[in-house]
Structure 1
Amino acid sequence: MTASRNVLTEQASALYSLGRIDEAKALLAKQLTASPEDFRGWTELGRCHYRLDDHEQALMAAAAALSLEPGYVDALIVRAYALRRLARIDECLATAQEAVRIAPQLWQTHAARAEALNAWQPRWPEVLEAAQEAVRLAPEETGAHYALWKAATLNGRSDLTDLAVREMLRIDPNDSFALDRRTEKELATPGMRNGRRAEVYASALAADPASDRMRAGLDGAVFQMLRGTRWLAVLSLLLAGVAVDLFPSEDDIRELPLPLGTRVYVLLLIGLLWAFGAWRRYRKMRAGVRLSVRSLLRRMFWARLVLVQAVLGTLCAVIIVAVPWTARDAPQVVFWAGLAPTLLTIWFDRPRTR
């Protein structure tokens, strides 16, 4: 029976490590109903409650474990973190210090002490010392480097925060927290273009597909890129308007219709404008960004509207140039039909670019 109980607790611990917290809780509930004396099971249940932000329940589970096995270090660590979230700071520090006293060789106890000490700004240097001790004891644990990142952030040590992120990614290239930090730093580069921004988000999302934050960032960058295509349409219309001389001065009125060679030349310029402004850029994008463009067009009305307006504006420019007009009234109507709605929506959809 004891072996069976241990197996259930180990299975729950494995599920917890995989992020399947609800399944782990269900298994532990079954285990603890049959064997309420399983202090390890209570500790694992406390960890599950903590991950689900149920800190009162986490504290109760840790207390149950400690009542069965006083001084059990893992339960003390769970208790310390739960007390910290409940703002019971003095109890939290006392619990963490007791864990360090019992097991000074474990990095987790020093990380718990660092967490407890960060409530007092004058003691932030001690937070850094505790986190550095955790890293010294376990240089191959991402959790130890996370503790260092947090302590370094409190102390304004950007060199150590960068080091912690690099080490986390060395140990686990798919660590979502470290990927987020690296992505944030890269996105903070001044003057970054939307195409590059989209590629940075796509790289982070490829490593952490479940990140809603990275998905939202990629959608925003892709939408900004789509907005840019409307300016290509506006430029195409202006180019067509100048070529046909839609609004001539009284002293210099170009004769209509334009020669065929001139019209073909202007159409070629419009095609080159789009080739270098949109098509070439789109073809050079990584596959993840191209897929995001298609996905956003399916999911977002404003993205589809942007594309429709870009196509409509460009089509109006092509009609203005391609048709051998003999008078300017009709092409002027086409010009404003393409330009006015596009400029209005460029102004109107600004709030949707956030």
Structure 2
Amino acid sequence: MMNINQYNFLKGDIVKLADERFDKISKHLLFPQNLFYVEDLDKENNLITLRNVEETFPFADILPVAVNGEDDKDIYYDPIVAASVVGLDGEIPTYHRDSSKYYMESLRKSYNAKGESYYSLIQTKQLNYVHEIQHCFPILKGDLKIHYHLRGYVNQSNIIGKLCELGNIYTDKNKDKINEFEEQGEHNIIYIRRSIDEKNIIASSEIDGKCDYVMMCKDDNMATYIRFFINSSIGKLLLLPDFKSGKMKGKTNFSQLKKLPVYYIHTYADSCIALQILIDFWVVYNKKTTSIDDSVKSAVCNYFYSLRDSLVLEMILPDLFEKSGVRILKHWKEEFGKLTVNPIATQNGGEYGLTVITALFDSLMASGNELMENMNRLRLYMNDFMNFANKIMSESK
């Protein structure tokens, strides 16, 4: 078998494993294709790391992917598309490449600055392997993607409904209607911003600055759960028109907000609501106190946000979590059950908020804590799981 140095593989190249090696590890992989991205190369020890695979491999186990319509059939072309101009509340256009379309077919209609199709250039240069195309045309390197077979992992039955089916949603233009509900005090009001950022709170129970949309819910717990879901990374991702840049930043609109699918599992709803109440308490408490170091405030907040993201992600991809041996929903529910004070009963943490959070972290820091161990295990997969979820959501928009 030829040495990898003869192929000159680089980080980001698309490669495959030798058949006998792939057969041995395939049952432990998240996806069935024998296609991988090179994650890292250790040339001193002749070892290579592949993305989404825990073990390392000797160079001799890594092979190039032939451009033949068979070995490379699950590769597609996904270039970045220029932005469009959209009105304030207009429908934001999204561009989603057909991931089932063979990349070589797509390259027939993709041209360089001289007007030459990449397909014809590949033929002229007699490039036989995918990584050779990536090296010869660096502009294509990041645009050649592996089409992982993901849809089987999504549990659509965990969708309780569209956001518009769970309450009434208004734009800030309906000020009279909103004022009427506020005065009546019979509805739980959720104030929503259209500007989305990875760090900001976009759905709040109290108005803080500019508000673009307002949602009315008659049920206290459902209103809290909706805030839990919308403020998660998945909730934000679903409200964005696209996520190509890899940055959770952009603007949603009224149409996208109304059709937002809300994932919900009744068995775990109370523990999710409790987490949102603890987050609400911690955000308010941080603004009032100076007795806690900023690094501690940030660490607790980041943990809560990460936990919320993980819970929502598992609702969407439960089978993927199970195959990876990660259980977050189950172990967070167990931690919630250990609390001596139920945050839902006190609402917003109340005077018990700090006591509850202190007891929670005492439990989390104990040796062998199942939730912490599963959160640590999830960190190995989190970026890829988010990318997979983004891909699935993009295709369904």
How would you bin the TM-score normalised by the shorter chain?
Answer: under 0.3
Q: Work out which structure has the larger RCO, using CA pairs closer than 8 Å and 6 or more positions apart in sequence.
A: 2
| Structure with the largest fraction of strand | 2
| Structure with the largest fraction of helix | 1
Q: Which has the larger radius of gyration?
A: 1
